[in-house]
Amino acid sequence: MGRKISTADLRQVHDEHKIWLSSVGEAGRCADLSETKLSGIKLLRTNLSKANLSGADLSSANLMGVIMKGTNLSGANMRGAYILHGADLTGADMSETDLYKSNLTKSEMSNVKLIKSYLYKACVNGVNLSGADLSDADLSKAKLKKAKLSETNLQNAILRSTDLKGVIGLTIEQLSVVKTLYKSKLDSELMEQVKEKHPHLLEKPK
């Protein structure tokens, strides 16, 4: 499952990618690390914007401060990965990505595609998810305290036992289209609106 890559080859791929980015595609080569085994790797503050990491194994990877703007991470295994404090994934494609128990604290993730992604027990505290697409995503038992959810698409998202206390920009209109809010924590004002307009969302899913 997945292809292996040596440290030397990975360094060369990164060096070529840096040239590709700085020359706006005129020189170097865009990094293609799709389906690559990178479990447990340290890529601190590395710039892999617009790279292809679809289907890559980044489980337990340390991606603190990494820059992955517009990067293709669709279908990647990022279980238990650290992607926090200054990491910038603006506009990345993380559709169907496995982010089980990952730590995304205070990352920049505006306009990210997280369609059908798995964020069970993920730490998403303080993350900017403005304009992100979380349709059909599973956020059960995830922590989103003080996350920014302005204009975030939550269509059919599973918010079961999810901590949404102090979330910024979240509206009743966004919550009205989720699949469930069973046992989730909400600020009192939003909770009252849910109870009044969409009480079925608080019931145990059948």
pLDDT tens, 134-174? 999 999 999 999 999 999 999 999 999 999 999 999 999 99
* Domain residue limits at 103: 32-206
- Does 1 map to a domain? no
pLDDT tens, 117-129? 999 999 999 999 9
- Amino acid 36: pLDDT: 97
Question: Does the predicted model carry a pTM greater than 0.85?
Answer: yes
Question: How many folded domains does the chain comprise?
Answer: 1
- Amino acid 60: pLDDT: 96
Chain centroid to CA 192? 29
CATH of the domain at 44: 2.160.20.80
Amino acid at 1: M
- Does 145 map to a domain? yes
User: 68 pLDDT exceeds 70?
Assistant: yes
Q: How far apart are CA 156 and CA 189, in angstroms?
A: 22
Per DSSP, the three-state class of 197 is helix
In this prediction, residue 1 has a pLDDT band, given cuts at 50, 70 and 90, of low
